């Protein structure tokens, strides 16, 4: 199967243009070939989006929302099929695949509700017989650049608020996971979304992504990916005076205090660290543990890690799937050497899994380091794989200091039964998301998602806050006094 672009409500024909293979990371199977587009296709998509948006903005917001309700209904109907496709091309276990599709369904219905809100503000004027208000106005055409680790959820976080707010969009999915974008484009087509409102252009970031950022008619760029790439997006977008929304890396920590429920903490750590094979921006890669319970927690983690099943995510008994590709395996493994050289003690894992059927895919053993100090590279840099570092501390204050001592600020967690510890932590942890007695993952679509410092640039996906990315505030003054009234002057 050849995946071609969806532009102006039509599928481009599969010609002799360049294509690249889409591989199943669990077994190396060739799933499809995806088109590697050029600036020419971006220009076509933007032109279609510009034409469509001029009409789309005139559709009442509740009517725009009706399309999202229908998209959500179709996603629900096709949930199992979508989850199966997601697991095949990305690798996460099928249970997580179903959860991710559900997140997209939830986002459709939630943002559809905004079609009858999109609240502005009314406020008194300082002048008599004058009315003042502010409303949300769509920006126009937006560009969406999404990653491979959550190919449906993150795309819906971005596209659905853009749609309901009255924008048209061009979506560049990750080259590793284009099949989910293809499936979503088919849903857009099936619900009858007006041609040009939603456009999918496959290709590389250097070609398609750059062309989107540089195009004068694309007013907003929303990007999720690595901090390194996000910095380049921000730099290029800044040159062209774009509004740029960035959601990037994380180095997330679970804090385990001496009064914690250790069994619950272990469950939270395992799910946060090894779900999606550690390939989450919210993955737990550091466990900051009080010295009085470190040894016990360490032993409990080791015991539970032995029971983790690893393999093809379509197998319902498997708990950890493959990583995305060979390059990811190499990057993850390079950090094992770094950790050892820095003096960390490797307790378990630290190697590629290549026995039997695992040899066909990209599997890495769940890995646990101990005796890690907060300044080590494995405690500072995003590894993006199933690797966790245990860092010992002697107080809550030290735990918070260690948590905050990285360049990222996405997610953090504390396990404690002490309400005072909990309230101090949620105040002082400098991350965009804080969990109490839960792991570092589990965001829900009706709250803002994003982080501080090197994780982002102040914008948020999901929740009502997502609308701020895709709308501008317009202030409106209506003077019905019948005379010229000057603000700040004619007020006496």
List 15's β-bridge partners, or say none: none
**Gap between the Cα atoms of 362 and 91, Å rounded:** 9
**Gap between the Cα atoms of 192 and 211, Å rounded:** 28
**Gap between the Cα atoms of 273 and 15, Å rounded:** 43
Identify whether the C-beta of residue 98 lies closer than 8 Å to the C-beta of residue 79.
Answer: yes
Identify whether the C-beta of residue 91 lies closer than 8 Å to the C-beta of residue 25.
Answer: yes
Q: Are strands 411-415 and 252-256 parallel, antiparallel or unpaired?
A: parallel
* Marked catalytic residue, from 183, 281, 284, 392: 281
What is residue 287's three-state secondary structure? strand
Identify whether the C-beta of residue 325 lies closer than 8 Å to the C-beta of residue 23.
Answer: yes
Angle made by CA atoms 432, 433, 437, in degrees to the nearest 5: 155
**Gap between the Cα atoms of 289 and 294, Å rounded:** 6
Verify whether residue 281 is a known catalytic residue. yes
Sheet holding 198-200, edge to edge: 10-11, 6-7, 198-200, 168-172, 141-145, 220-224, 243-247
* Marked catalytic residue, from 89, 100, 114, 247: 247
Instruction: Collect all residues with Cβ–Cβ distance below 8 Å to 96 and sequence separation of at least 6.
Output: 275, 276, 313
What is residue 402's three-state secondary structure? helix
Identify whether the C-beta of residue 79 lies closer than 8 Å to the C-beta of residue 101.
Answer: yes
Active site residues: 247, 281
């Amino acid at each position: 199967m050849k995946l071609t672009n969806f532009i102006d409500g039509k599928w481009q024909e599969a010609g002799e243009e360049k294509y690249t293979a889409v591989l199943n990371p669990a077994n190396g199977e060739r799933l499809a070939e995806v088109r590697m587009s050029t600036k020419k296709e971006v220009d076509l998509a933007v032109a279609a989006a510009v034409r469509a948006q001029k009409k789309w903005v005139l559709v009442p917001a509740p009517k725009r929302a009706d399309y999202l309700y229908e998209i959500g209904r179709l996603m629900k109907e096709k949930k199992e099929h979508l989850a199966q496709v997601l697991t095949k091309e990305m690798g996460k276990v099928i249970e997580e695949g179903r959860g991710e599709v559900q997140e997209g369904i939830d986002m459709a219905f939630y943002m559809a509700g905004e079609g009858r809100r999109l609240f502005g503000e009314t406020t008194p004027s300082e002048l008599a017989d004058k009315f003042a208000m502010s409303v949300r106005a769509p920006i126009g055409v937006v560009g969406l650049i999404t990653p491979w680790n959550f190919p449906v959820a993150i795309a819906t976080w971005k596209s659905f608020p853009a749609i309901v707010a009255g924008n048209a969009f061009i979506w560049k999915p990750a080259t590793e996971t284009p099949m989910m974008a293809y499936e979503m484009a088919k849903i857009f087509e099936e619900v009858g979304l007006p041609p040009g409102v939603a456009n999918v252009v496959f290709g590389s970031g250097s070609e398609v992504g750059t062309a989107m950022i540089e195009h004068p008619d694309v007013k907003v760029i929303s990007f999720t990916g690595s901090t390194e790439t996000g910095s380049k997006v921000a730099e290029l977008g800044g040159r062209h005076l774009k509004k740029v929304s960035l959601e990037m890396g994380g180095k997330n920590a679970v804090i385990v205090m001496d009064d914690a429920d250790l069994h619950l903490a272990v469950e939270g750590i395992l799910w946060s660290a090894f779900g999606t094979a550690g390939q989450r921006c919210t993955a737990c890669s550091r466990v900051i543990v009080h010295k009085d319970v470190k040894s016990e927690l360490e032993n409990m983690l080791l015991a539970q890690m032995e029971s983790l099943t690893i393999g093809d995510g379509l197998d319902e008994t498997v708990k950890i799937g493959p990583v995305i590709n060979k390059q990811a395996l190499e990057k993850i493994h390079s950090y094992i050497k770094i950790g050892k050289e820095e003096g960390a003690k490797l307790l378990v894992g630290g190697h590629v899994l290549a026995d039997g059927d695992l040899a066909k895919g990209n599997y890495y053993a769940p890995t646990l380091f101990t005796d890690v100090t907060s300044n080590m590279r494995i405690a500072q840099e995003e590894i993006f794989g199933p690797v966790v570092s245990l860092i010992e501390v002697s107080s809550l204050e030290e735990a918070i200091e260690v948590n905050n001592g990285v360049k990222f600020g996405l997610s953090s967690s504390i396990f404690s039964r002490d309400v005072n510890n909990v309230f101090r932590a949620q105040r002082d942890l400098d991350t965009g998301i804080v969990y109490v007695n839960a792991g570092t993952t589990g965001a829900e679509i009706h709250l803002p998602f994003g982080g501080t410092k090197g994780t982002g640039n102040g914008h948020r996906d999901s929740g009502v806050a997502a609308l701020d990315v895709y709308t501008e505030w317009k202030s409106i003054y209506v003077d019905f006094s019948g005379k010229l009234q000057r603000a700040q002057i004619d007020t006496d």
